[in-house]
Each structure stands twice: as C-alpha cells, then as structure tokens.
A and B are shown apart, each in its own frame.
Chain A
Amino acid sequence: MESAGLRITLRAWAVLVLVLLFAPIFVIIAYAFDPSVIQSWPIRGFTWHWFIVAWHDQAVRQAFLLSVRVGLLVAGIAMALGSAVAYGLHNFRFFGRESISFLLVLPLALPGVVTGIALNNMFGFLNVTLSVLTIVIGHTTFCIVIVYNNLIARLRRTPRSLTEASMDLGARGWQTQLYVMLPQVATALVSGALLAFALSFDEVIVTVFTAGANTTLPIWIFGEIHHGQQLPEVNAVVTIVVLLTIIPVLIAARLAGTGGVTRTARADKQ
C-alpha cells in the first residue's frame, strides 16, 4: 500500500483541512463571548451579556419564533411529500422514473437565487401576497429531496423478504406497512424531517425573495450584518443558530447513519 511518508503527508493534510473547516466557526463562537463592543482579535474577556441582550430583544425573539414555525411546517409537509415520492419511486418502475429523481434534486443543485426569483416572479404574476405561507412553499420545494434521499436509501437497504414474510404470514398490505415497514424506516423518516428543519431554519437566499415583510431569523441576521450597528448581539444570535443547525444533524446522523446526512450524495451505497 502507500509508503509511510505518503501516509504521514496525507494525515497532515487531513488535520489541516479539519482545522480550516472548524476554525471560522470557533472564531465566531469566541466573539459571541467578547465583552467589547468593537470587534477585534483577540477577544478581551468573557461575558454572557450579548446572549442576554439577544434574549430580551423582541425583534430577535419574533424572528426566531417565525423561523421555528416555518421550519416545523416545512419539515411536516416535506416529510409527507418526500416519503410519498420515495415509496412511489422505490416500489414502481415506469417511464420517466429517472427524470423524477433528477427533478427533485434540481432546487438544491441550481443556485438558490434562481428558485428565489422564479417563485417571487410567479407569486407576483398570480397576485399572491408574500407571507409566511410563501416562505413555507419556497422552503418545502428544496426540502422534499432531503426527506426523499434519506428514506429511499433506507428502503433500498431493507430486504424485500421482510415484506414477503409478512404477507406470507397473512398480513394485509396496510398491516405490513404499519407493523413491518414503518419500524424499519422510522428513524430515516425522523432524520429526514430533522434535516429539513435544519435546512429551512437556516435558509436565507430563497427566503429573501419569498418573505415579503416577514423577518425570519436568517433575514434578521443578514440585515444586521449589512447595517453593522449591533454586531456583538449578532455574534450571540449567530452562535445560537450554529448550534441549532448542528444539533438536528448530529441526532439525524445517529438515527440514519452518517451516509443519510450528506445533502449532496449518498455515501452509504457500499
């Protein structure tokens, strides 16, 4: 196999990449605890002050609650639609099947600004007022594929013999689904929904075009970074958002295995 020198070089490279991946995130978390109002490195102490400021800020609180509400709605709808399409594509073979899975990944593979302006334009064309509903519609469009990816990977790994055994033992179609298949796929479903929530909770690129006068948490952060008036508070809010996007992913990774959490490709086809 590889020579010792090459192995050491590759290991050093891996460590370097890991440091690069995590350093910016740690920097921003460190800043959140900086007592100074002027942002400069190194930070000059430790305080929880900005978290308390953020907690009492009504604008932050409303934006946070709106983001949670949108995230939950999106996760629910995406779970229903994503699992329907996963079951459909897994169980049936028909013409155009490949194009459907291609279509599903398109909103994630095309730049968000395209989805954003297309939806904004259509809502304007149909005289639909931008509201919480339009945010949910926009987010659901690119979250369906997340649930679909998780579930179809699990369905492919579940042996067909389970269904056949259940049928042989006299279970009806719905009984097989409920008592045999559902326990097999439940964790994949939950992890898909968690990831959909995380993706929606953090989304800003499409949201800007579909939110109208509504302010989700990412829109609040985007605006505040742009204005630069209360950056210490932004540091604290951003730190909370990082945690809230990472925690669902950790849970999902435990439930579905790391392969289900990739957002891009499924790495679990071994």
Chain B
Amino acid sequence: MTATSARPGQAGGGLWSRASGALWRRPWSRATLLLTPPLAWFLLVYVAALVVMLITAFWTVNQFTGNLERIWNLQNFTQILGNAGYRSIIFRSAEMAAGVTLVDAAIALPFAYYMARIAAPRTRTFLFVCVLLPLWASYLAKVYAWLVIFTHDGVLNWGLARIGLGPQNMIYTNSAVFVVFCYIWLPYMIIPVYAAIERIPNSLIEASQDLGGRTARTAWSVIAPLALPGIVAGSIFTFSLTLGDYVTPTLIGNSDLIGTVIASNVGVANDLPLAAAMALVPIAIMACYLIGARALGAFREI
C-alpha cells in the first residue's frame, strides 16, 4: 500500500474528502484519533482508580470520628500482616484459589482433550457451545442454584438419602464454597486448555507413538507440556476470580475470605483505607502470578 500516491479526486472535493485524505497521509494522526478516547477512558477511570486506591491504603480512618485522615502511615499494612486473623484469611483464600485451580485443571484437561482431538467437528462445536452457555449464564443464578442444591431439603440430601448416606450439612461450609468456585470457574479453564490442545500438531503425537511412547508417556511428555500455557492462561482466571470473590462466600459460606473482608470494610465498617490495603493483597499475589505466567508464555492465549 503506497500512502502518498495520487488518487483520483484527491485534489478536488470538499472538506470531508480533504480531511479523509489528510488522515490517510498521516497514519499517526489516525492512530492518535482512534486510540486517545479508549486509552483516556482507561487511564482516567481504571488506572486512576487503582492509583487512588494505592494512595488511600496509606491513609487511616480516625477511630473516634470515622473521618478519613490523610496522613501517610503503614498502619493498615501492619494491621493486616501483623494480625493472625487477617493472615489466616489471606492464607485460606490463597489456598482455596490454588485448590480450585488444580481441581479445575484436572477436570478440564481430559474434557478439553476429548473436545479437541477425539470428538467429530460437529460434536466439537456442540461441546463448545455447551461450555459457553454455563460460562455466560448469570453468575448469581449459578451461586443461587448451588445454595438451593446444598440446602437441608435440597437435591444433594435427597440424593444422599437415596443411597443411604443420610443428610449432610454442606450449606454454609468452606467445602460448599470450594465446590461452587470449582463449578463457576470451570469453563474459564476448559476454553484456553482446549485452544492449547487443539494447536498441538498430530505429527508430534504420532512421533511419540512411533518412538514407542505409550498413552501415559505421550500424555505426560508431549501433551501436558504443550497444554501447559493453556492451563496457565485458564488458571489466571480461576485463581484470581476465586481470590477476590465475596458473593459466593457471603451466600454459601460462613467464614471470611479476602473478598468478604474488603466488602465488609466498604459497607458496614466503613474503613476504606483498610479495604484498599486489603485489595492490594490479591493484586500483589496476582502480580507475582502473572509475571510467572508471562514467563511460561500464557499471554499468547489471552
């Protein structure tokens, strides 16, 4: 494409075509025109909000008046990291997020493999839609559905009674929260893993078999390493979204996670600086995680 060659009608024409021509001749002005509004939005709304939050984390709320005091200090951080209760909440959240990620990866891998390499093309499309629908179906509806399933007279205890395992009290436990997280974020894991497995050339698998690799060996030495970037891409979502969720633990669980601590400090307790400092915890954990993920090449998938 030669940008400066004379085109018919360029010399004449009205303001519109002259403006169009001027833009065409100066790619930089077009790029600026296109990118300024969305980037300004992102910087002025999102990045600015994150920066203000970072600053707020170093302020405090006066215990007596409840007013924000704009004096720089590390009180929120010493409170969070020095308090055994908060530390165990952070640890429990990270543990939950890691567990959910592992379980989802274990469920997603065989499923994605079947989808990408065994299912016929029509079945593949069908399965893809079947993963997409629960992914997009209302988040609250999914959490609520599990509340209804886990409740005392719910589907779970009805099923357990039939096989003679008696009623269990699943609702309002950490196990229930764990199950719901695994369910809700599973499609976020399946899709990138599927994308990664689908791209593995058949010849690699055949080569492994020709060289005498059995199924298990091929799966472990060829498929697993090549699916890893997909797993990492999916885990960014399963890990991060579990780490900060407060709706599921509020409705299904009975103990605090990072998300519920943040939410309650914005609402009831109204200690925004503490909430802001707490919100930096998942960001810090995710930053470490993303740097690692980037090294593993996960961002080619996103």
Contact = CB atoms under 8 A, between A and B. Distances in A.
Interface string A245-270: 11001100100001001111111011
A218 B37 contact: no
Interface-central residue, B27, B136, B243, by most chain A CB under 10 Å: B136
Nearest to B153: A40
Given A111-B259, A265-B195, A14 B244 contact: no
B7 interface: yes
Interface stretch (A49-57, A184-192, A220-228): A220-228
B183 A24 contact: yes
Interface string A77-108: 00011101101110110100000111111111
Nearest to B158: A41
Contacts of B114: 10-11, 13-14
Interface string B106-129: 010011011101110000010111
Interface string B284-295: 001000100000
Given A172-B20, A249-B136, A118 B49 contact: yes
A159 interface: no
Given A85-B34, A107-B46, A109-B237, A222 B39 contact: no
A262 B299 contact: no
Interface stretch (B71-79, B80-88, B144-152): B144-152
B171 to A, nearest CB: 12
B52 A92 contact: no
B246 A113 contact: yes
Nearest to A26: B145
A181 interface: no
Interface stretch (A58-66, A68-76, A234-242): A234-242
Contact of A261 (B20, B132, B186, B236): B132
B275 interface: yes
A18 B131 CA distance: 8
B215 interface: yes
A264 B251 contact: no
Interface in B160-194: 183, 186-188, 191-192, 194
Interface residues of B, number: 108
A84 B145 contact: no
A28 B148 CA distance: 8
A45 interface: no
Contact of B144 (A28, A107, A261, A269): A28
B241 A262 contact: no
Contacts, number: 305
Interface string B194-234: 11001100000100000000010000000000000010011
29 contacts: A18-B127, A18-B130, A21-B130, A25-B142, A39-B154, A85-B34, A109-B290, A109-B302, A113-B258, A113-B279, A113-B282, A114-B262, A116-B266, A118-B279, A119-B45, A121-B272, A122-B53, A141-B42, A163-B1, A172-B21, A225-B251, A235-B148, A238-B141, A238-B145, A262-B132, A262-B135, A263-B135, A265-B230, A265-B233
Interface of B: 1, 7-9, 16-17, 20-21, 23-24, 27, 30-31, 34-35, 37-39, 41-42, 45-50, 52-53, 56, 107, 110-111, 113-115, 117-119, 125, 127-142, 144-149, 151, 153-155, 158, 183, 186-188, 191-192, 194-195, 198-199, 205, 215, 230, 233-234, 236-237, 240-241, 243-247, 250-251, 258-259, 262-263, 266, 272, 275-276, 279, 282-283, 286, 290, 299, 301-302
Interface of A: 1-3, 6-7, 10-11, 13-14, 17-18, 20-22, 24-25, 27-28, 31, 38-42, 80-82, 84-85, 87-89, 91-92, 94, 100-122, 124-125, 137, 140-141, 144, 163-164, 167, 170, 172-174, 195, 198-199, 202-205, 208-209, 218, 221-222, 225-226, 234-235, 238-239, 241-242, 245-246, 249-250, 253, 258, 261-267, 269-270
